[in-house]
Amino acid sequence: MTEKKPIGYKWLSCGKIHYPKHGRCLQCKYQEFEEVELPSEGSLVTYTMLKAPPTGIDKFSLYLGIIDLGTVRYTGQLEVESDKITLGMKLKSTWTKVREIDGKPKYGFVWIPT
């Protein structure tokens, strides 16, 4: 497991951090930003179950959640057992294989209980 951290986008004009990236800041409409490391731990704000994952994901369903990292709310894939998932639970990011496309592994962040 690596120490890779999630990345957010900090607007140079107002300091607001967004994730995912937008063409313009949603707050001040300025276009220039820099990448910043985000905290790798947060709490679950809400979640939904995706019943038809995209091609290359070897699962019948998966959870997508919004994780409050303090400076920003991050949308990501969760790896939590269905009987353990609760709003407000503490999660941390891991960098792992999330799907396979044309036989090649694709990596991304998955959020797991701390």
Closest distance to Zn ion from the beta carbon of 39 (Å): 20
Task: Tell the residue number behind the tokens 């070897």, with chain if given.
Answer: 58
Helix or strand run (H / E) with residue 93: strand 90-101
| Beta strand pairing call for 104-113 and 73-78 | parallel
CB nearer to Zn ion: pick between 30 and 107: 30
Q: Supply the Cα-derived Rg of the chain in whole angstroms.
A: 15
Where on the chain is the footprint of Zn ion (CB under 5 A)? Answer: 11, 14, 16, 25, 27-28
CB nearer to Zn ion: pick between 12 and 112: 12
Closest distance to Zn ion from the beta carbon of 54 (Å): 32
Question: Within a 13 Å sphere around the CA of 9, how many CA atoms are in the beta-carbon half?
Answer: 13
Closest distance to Zn ion from the beta carbon of 5 (Å): 22
CB nearer to Zn ion: pick between 4 and 16: 16
